[in-house]
A and B are shown apart, each in its own frame.
Chain A
Amino acid sequence: MADDVTTSDVAASPATSPVQGAAGRTSQVRPAASARGGRRGMNSQLRKRLEIFFFVAPALALFGLFVIVPIATAVQMSLFRWKGIGPLVDFVGLQNYVSVLTSDVFTGAVVHNLVIVFLSILIQLPLGLAIALLLNRRMWGQSALRTIIFVPYVLAEVVAGVIWLQLLQPQYGVIDAILGAVGLEGPDQGWLGDTDLALGTVMVVLTWKYLGLAVILFLAGLQGVPEELYEAAQLDGATWWQVQRKITIPLLGPTLRTWGFLSMIGSLQLFDMVWILTRGGPANATSTMATFLVNEGTQRSNFGIAGAASVVLFVIALFMAVLYQQLILRRDTRPETGRK
């Protein structure tokens, strides 16, 4: 699911800027049109609005049906004790929220989510940037290397998860077999069975899976850095390092910040990989908010608790998204409008 969101966002982001540009232009044109004034202007205004409505309404209706209604239902559900059958009658107020927020498993899951958010950025940002800079140089096998880096991201998450699960099998898995061949030994309980190692192992798999996205985005961003700047720097005798530090990375800023946003949202919603690798175990060492609510909802029919957990997840995600927009992404939007 996270994949769909990210890909569509990636596709959308380059497209949005020209659209915004166009909107800006029309708004400049508009006063001139209405200056011509009269009823024709009013009519065309109305027509335009009707037109907009005509095209937007289906999307709005679908959005309402598949986003707003489910959110409202989740909120409603979270106020009841409900086993999944029959009408909602057993109103319990905020009790479900209390039990979710006081549950060690849920608070543990929140911590795991936050750890994954920060580690993802901490690991993938420098690594992705380094690989992108490397792959941006003209060299032999460049496109082959780019493809290889991107392949894990294209693989379906479930498929990748199952493959890693087999690789990580204690004793009989490929990884332990290789370690054994060089005289080392994997952890006694296996990489995923040890409560201290499981989250780290999941993190490694996630990095492998999502590094490709970071690299491809950064590479795309690198294409947008004007060639002239490099030439000017070269004329001034700047070293390769200086060029990267003073020109490439600052100009890559918007891309980096957008990627950080996508990565953060993906980490908060993390479910599939964890579900396949560990089911949130061992001893809840890798649980995430999403595994918690699936566990409570579909596995245990505690739909009220699951509803409350989903609302909490929604609020946390919304809060972090808004915070990120305000603190970090704003830098990209503000100066640009200022310049124009």
Chain B
Amino acid sequence: MTRTKRSAAVIALGSAVALLAAACAGQGGGGGGSTDADADTITWWHNSNTGEGKEYYDQLAADFEAETGVTVEVSAMQHEDMLTKLQAAFQSGNDEQIPDVYMSRGGGELQTEVETGVVRDLTEDAADEISKISAFTGQYTVDEKVYALPYSMGIVGFWYNQDLFAEAGIDEVSPSPTIEEFYGYVEKLDAAGITPISVGAKDLWPAAHYWYYSVVRECPFETVESAIENKDYSDPCFIKAGENVEDIIAKDPFNKGFLATGAQEGPTSASGLLATEKVAMELAGHWEPGVAGGLTEDEQVPDFLGWFAFPTFEGQAGDPADQMGGGDAWSVSAGAPDAAVDFAKFLLSDEAQQGFAERDMGLPTNPAATDHVADEALAQLIPVRDGGGNTQLYLDTRLGQSVGGAMNDAIGLMFAGEAGPQDIVDAIQSAAESE
């Protein structure tokens, strides 16, 4: 009897293992054998998944198809979903799963993609386009090779409610105020009983933008670049940046409960408070009119929105023309057919970018399209962006998710009053060293 039992157990175990092995084989296979040489079909993932933007991208894909005979399979996804799926696709290592043309955010993420060889070098293949938009390709360049074509590049600044500013008796708003002028706005708003600023510190990055921008103001562009390159953040300008942010926090200009306020979701988020006229301003990127528009009752972009640049500090070492922002770019995966490169180039063409600008989908990089931006508030950003200074990428993207996350955590602690300027630098330094 024991023997039967044992053999039955062995059979059971054996078949279970076999089943498992079969299942695992199914999981791991596929990568090597199949070739993605089907040059007549390319896949394209983007994040304009609603309304006019989606229609426009569908139309562009159709135009390209008509012109070249190459079928474009478009997947329009919600932004976070797209990031998750993209990561899963790269993890699979399967060319069938990885889209041929996809959105890249540059910085540390792109660096990882380059190191693992999943993204295609476009330096030669798209040389003409790159020369047109060379002012913006810096953040998509690794070892002097360009791996993505930026199609939109925005900058961060203060979006403010012109009505509330007028109500507080602020008659003149400088397009690039000094910190003293900025504090003047805050005091007047406070005196008028208006909450000056909303910040979505629960999501960390909106709070972290204050620190990034202070870094851009206090540190010369090259200092930041070499600090990242050498993983050495000992330059005192980083401490100075933290002190500036501490000063701003000490003025207590933020909405009640800002530590528990989200960035963009719903009317009680930081963007929602601005859109529903509960606060006078918010530090945000070029997406703010769109986001705010989605949070108002009539779903229109509020016409009270104005914009001014992040304040400058007395004695700052950074170039006042430098800005902090970020963009989106088209990358082509390593396993994609050549038609995918043509499509990425097509998306950067004058006509495609002009249509992109006319629909206020972002701030176009192609100089032929920059004066086509329809929305006035958004158009305001173009001269500042193209004002000759450098545009530093959002530092969390620049440093990559791992170091960026540690940095944002430390900045969040500063907003909660539990960390100082040195703590932020220490957090970045130790995360960078352990990477």
Say whether, besides A61-B23, A69-B24, A281-B202, A295 and B405 are in contact (CB < 8 Å). Answer: yes
> In the complex, what distance in Å separates the CA atom of A190 from the CA atom of B257?
5
Report whether A64 and B16 are in contact in the complex, using a CB–CB cutoff of 8 Å: yes
Count residues of chain A with CB under 8 A from any CB of chain B.
51
> In the complex, what distance in Å separates the CA atom of A190 from the CA atom of B203?
16
* Nearest neighbor of A99 in chain B, beta-carbon distance: B434
Report whether A57 and B15 are in contact in the complex, using a CB–CB cutoff of 8 Å: yes
Report whether B259 and A69 are in contact in the complex, using a CB–CB cutoff of 8 Å: no
In B4-55, the 8 Å CB interface with A consists of 4-5, 8, 11-12, 15-16, 19-20, 23-24
**Which chain A residues lie closer than 8 Å to B16 at the CB level?**
57, 60-61, 64
Report whether B412 and A283 are in contact in the complex, using a CB–CB cutoff of 8 Å: yes
Pick out which of these stretches binds chain B: A110-118, A148-156, A169-177, A231-239: A169-177
* Nearest neighbor of A194 in chain B, beta-carbon distance: B259
Report whether A189 and B4 are in contact in the complex, using a CB–CB cutoff of 8 Å: no
Q: How many A-B residue pairs have CB under 8 A?
A: 139
> In the complex, what distance in Å separates the CA atom of A69 from the CA atom of B118?
27
> In the complex, what distance in Å separates the CA atom of A184 from the CA atom of B203?
29
> In the complex, what distance in Å separates the CA atom of A45 from the CA atom of B7?
12
> In the complex, what distance in Å separates the CA atom of A56 from the CA atom of B19?
13
In B90-126, the 8 Å CB interface with A consists of 90-91, 93, 112-113, 115-118
Is there a chain A Cβ closer than 8 Å to B418's Cβ?
Answer: yes
**Which chain B residues lie closer than 8 Å to A278 at the CB level?**
202, 260
* Nearest CB on A from B339, distance (A): 24
Report whether B84 and A298 are in contact in the complex, using a CB–CB cutoff of 8 Å: yes
> In the complex, what distance in Å separates the CA atom of A87 from the CA atom of B118?
12
Count residues of chain B with CB under 8 A from any CB of chain A.
49
Q: Which residue of B204, B258, B260 has the most chain A CB atoms within 10 A of its CB atom?
A: B260
Give the residue of B15, B19, B203, B255 whose beta carbon is less than 8 angstroms from that of A279. Answer: B203
Is there a chain B Cβ closer than 8 Å to A49's Cβ?
Answer: yes
Report whether A45 and B4 are in contact in the complex, using a CB–CB cutoff of 8 Å: yes
**Which chain B residues lie closer than 8 Å to A295 at the CB level?**
405
Is there a chain B Cβ closer than 8 Å to A301's Cβ?
Answer: yes
Which secondary structure characterizes the binding site on chain B? helix
Say whether, besides A189-B256, A302-B402, A172 and B278 are in contact (CB < 8 Å). Answer: yes
In A153-199, the 8 Å CB interface with B consists of 165-166, 168-173, 188-195, 198
> In the complex, what distance in Å separates the CA atom of A299 from the CA atom of B405?
8
* Nearest CB on A from B382, distance (A): 32
* Nearest neighbor of A295 in chain B, beta-carbon distance: B405
**What residues make up the interface of B, taking CB atoms closer than 8 Å to A?**
1, 4-5, 8, 11-12, 15-16, 19-20, 23-24, 84, 87, 90-91, 93, 112-113, 115-118, 201-204, 255-261, 266, 268, 278, 400-402, 404-406, 409, 412-413, 416, 418, 434
Contacts beyond the supplied A83-B402, A170-B260, A301-B87: 14 A-B pairs with Cβ under 8 Å: A69-B24, A85-B90, A85-B113, A85-B116, A85-B118, A86-B93, A166-B266, A190-B260, A192-B259, A193-B259, A193-B260, A194-B259, A277-B260, A282-B259
